[in-house]
Structure 1
Amino acid sequence: MSAQLNQDYEIAAIVGRGRFGAVFRCSSRISGETFAVKSIDKTLLTDPFDSDLASREAKLHRLAAAGNPLAVQIHADYEDDASIHLVLDLCTGPDLFDRIADESAPISEPEAAMVIGDLMEAIAACHRRGVVHRDVKPENVVFDAEGRIRLVDFGSAGWIGEDGGEGMKGLVGTPYYVAPEVVRGEEYGEKVDVWSAGVVMYIMLGGVPPFHGETAAEIFEAVRRGNLRFPSRVFHKVSPAAKDLLRRMICKDVSRRFSAEQVLRHPWIKSRGGTSSVDD
């Protein structure tokens, strides 16, 4: 651990592990307030692409979280020869993956609309600052003590500029949620987050991902084809308005895919999953 980090914070137990390190509970030695510290082990960053992401994470996280209460906040960052350390809000609630996996309580449209509405508010705020999350998935949507969502983990975030003029490249994200333009190796923009959020919404309402496969390669191929369907056995109770929004978010044609702001204006979101007409 960084000497300065240890001087400022008392480090406690591990609360989570990731691909490049671990997350610890910590407390400020001045205020006593409790936080989380994400420690990234530089020796695990063998790919230059991963190393570049890690070196930019603190900067992009600060940009994305500024004035964005639905994103986990970053309070300090430290770096030493061995690691990069980020001091973050401590989120002790369950994540959305846990909520979806709880089969005893299926997710209703009003609850799903509330979560997706908040998630898209968080994503839209990131996009307005030129930051693309690039790994939107249920595990990165955490509920706080008040039951509101917090978007976490900006370790894969990319920068497109506040005018959206700078494209990105690189296969970043998680197979079930990654957008087809990412899989195809094309330059892409902020709408990859909308696709991913659409997949999250599809899973919340249907209980299964829209694109399947036994391996990552098979999933990527299904994503590339982008053949969106609504099997009647799982979607027979889902409203036409919800399906309409899903078609506009999980849309292979990027020019026709909704932006985050357009999602927020959709009748299903505005009515919080209630009965509502759909505008063409």
Structure 2
Amino acid sequence: MKIMNKWDLLKRSDVACYRQERDVLVNGDRRWITQLHYAFQDDNYLYLLMDYYIGGDLLSLLSKFPDGLPPHIAIFYIAEMIMAVNSVHSLGYIHRDIKPDNMLLNISGHILLGDFGSCLKLREDGTVSCSVAVGTPDYLSPEILLAVEDHTLSYGVECDWWSLGACTFEMFFGHPPFYADSVVETYGKIIHYKEHFTFPPSATEVPQEALNFISSLICERDTRLGRGGLQEFQNHPLFAGLDWEGLRDSSPPYIPESDGATDTSNFDVVEDHLTEMISGGGETLSDVEDTSPLGVNLPFVGYSYTYRDDDRANVWGIRKNECECKKRPTQDTQNMSHGDCLGQNLDSTLLTDLRNALQNEIETRETLNTEINFLKTANQSLARRLYEADQLNAELQSKISMMEGQMRERPSIVEEERDVHFSPRRHEICNQKYEPISRTRQLDSCIPSYCHPLVTPVHRHMLLFSRIPKPHTSWVGYLLLCSINWSHCVPRPLCSL
């Protein structure tokens, strides 16, 4: 089972090819690619359920031969790898991650190509454009690396054939052709392969046809073997005498050892991180549901798939349907004609097809209902937020209108205050009848009106005697203090006081 985090796939949408992987597994040639039984999903993960191949992978086989595989074993598996890669190309896809780890061995020792998570669908011109280096460093082609630097560059199926050449080199010599201590150094060797590609001294023990085959793949893309199709490989001297048509039905030169269907001894089993991943090892869609964009699940609609039970391929080869009357012969079936038996078999097959089609429709409807419910919930949440925003906007608009009204009234208020606090009061003339209220009041009432034009704005407040506090001073002292500003006035009130 392969489990993929939906949120992680969406964040890596430029390199995540989950849809292409599912399509290749569904439509690919089951003789050469891993068998898919189910594709399904839940709120946070995608699942692919495939056959388990107890033979391990080609990398495990290479570990048993540190100095390289014997030539007859290597040639057989190179031929099956060619058939597997060509089956992907025939669908209109490129794999982009051809390596020994992805070549699985079934119980009989035949190869099946797996891990299509880097697949891309070819355009009408037979190329793709991608600015990300996808794949395993030791097996990447130079055109993939150059496309990272120059986004205008494109490449096609020839990148897979380069990877096949790197795998072939490793099968004969025990190590990849551009191995280095760091990824950057490996990339540098691949880009400048003309300066770094050489055969080791042990090449004298390798057939010359194999060396020529490797050189025809580790070369310029325009002259690389395989650009003209499968026929170019079938005509190569390395495969002279090989029965390509009967390759799958032949006996492999290596049969994996196993103790049963659940044996894992042919794999390098690593620590299981499944529980950690499911229980919180990574952020999921449920964790970001409130902040995720609307319709975030739409890319996964229609992902589910169920493989038909009839005509299925398993790890032991192709199992073909037999007529039910031949499997369980009875007196009635013995009297049947071959045509009646065939008609019964066709009716049974048609019924099975209809049931499977109905099941697929039900699953699709359930998936669409889930997406519709999700969209309804998201729309309700968005409508609620919009309503709250409208209410807040109305409140702010009301406050703004009130403040604008206050601002319009403010100038008149200021003018009134200015008239009250700064304009000198015009009292009666000094020779009016004296009202003995208080000496301060008398002084305030005796300010002559003809002194107003001579009063400056700075001294205007000095004339408002009754409005200036006079703590701890007598009215006479206060009068003397203020009289310095009366230099332009005739002090008749002072004389009268």
2:237 is aligned to 267
Report SS of the residue matched to 1:255.
Answer: helix
1:230 is aligned to 199
For the 8 Å contact 1:60–1:158, the answer to whether it is kept is no
Q: 1:126 & 1:72 partners in 2: Cα distance?
A: 12
Return the structure number with greater strand share: 1
Unaligned 5+ segments in structure 1 are 1-36, 273-280
The 1:106/1:196 distance shift into structure 2, 3 A limit, reads closer
1:96 is aligned to 58
For the 8 Å contact 2:99–2:167, the answer to whether it is kept is yes
For the 8 Å contact 2:32–2:84, the answer to whether it is kept is yes
1:245 is aligned to 213
Cα RMSD between the aligned structures? 1.8
Residue 265 of structure 1, CA deviation: 2.5
The number of residue pairs the alignment matches comes to 230
Q: 2:176 & 2:67 partners in 1: Cα distance?
A: 18
Runs of 4+ deviating beyond 6 Å? none
Report SS of the residue matched to 2:138.
Answer: coil
> Please, what TM-score do these two structures have when normalized by structure 2?
0.44
Residue 125 of structure 1, CA deviation: 1.3
2:110 is aligned to 148
1:129 is aligned to 91
For the 8 Å contact 1:245–1:263, the answer to whether it is kept is no
For the 8 Å contact 2:169–2:214, the answer to whether it is kept is yes
Unaligned 5+ segments in structure 2 are 148-152, 243-497
Counterpart amino acid of residue 39 in structure 1: I
Residue 110 of structure 1, CA deviation: 1.0
For the 8 Å contact 1:158–1:168, the answer to whether it is kept is no
Structure 1, residues 107-138: CA drift from partner, whole Å, max 9, x if none? 11111010000000111111111111110001
Matching residue within 185, 191, 196 for 1:218: 185
Return the structure number with greater helix share: 2
The 1:140/1:81 distance shift into structure 2, 3 A limit, reads same
2:20 is aligned to 56
- Asked whether 1:112 is paired with 2:74, we answer yes
Q: 2:25 & 2:116 partners in 1: Cα distance?
A: 6
Q: 1:117 & 1:266 partners in 2: Cα distance?
A: 11
Residue 68 of structure 1, CA deviation: 4.1
For the 8 Å contact 1:120–1:264, the answer to whether it is kept is no
Q: 2:66 & 2:211 partners in 1: Cα distance?
A: 24
The 1:40/1:116 distance shift into structure 2, 3 A limit, reads same
Q: 1:165 & 1:95 partners in 2: Cα distance?
A: 30
Q: 2:121 & 2:20 partners in 1: Cα distance?
A: 10
Report SS of the residue matched to 1:217.
Answer: helix
- Asked whether 1:168 is paired with 2:101, we answer no
For the 8 Å contact 1:177–1:195, the answer to whether it is kept is yes
Counterpart amino acid of residue 180 in structure 2: G
For the 8 Å contact 2:94–2:119, the answer to whether it is kept is yes
Identity in percent: 26
For the 8 Å contact 1:119–1:151, the answer to whether it is kept is yes
Residue 106 of structure 1, CA deviation: 4.4
For the 8 Å contact 2:20–2:121, the answer to whether it is kept is no
Structure 1, residues 178-211: CA drift from partner, whole Å, max 9, x if none? 1000011131101111110111110010112111
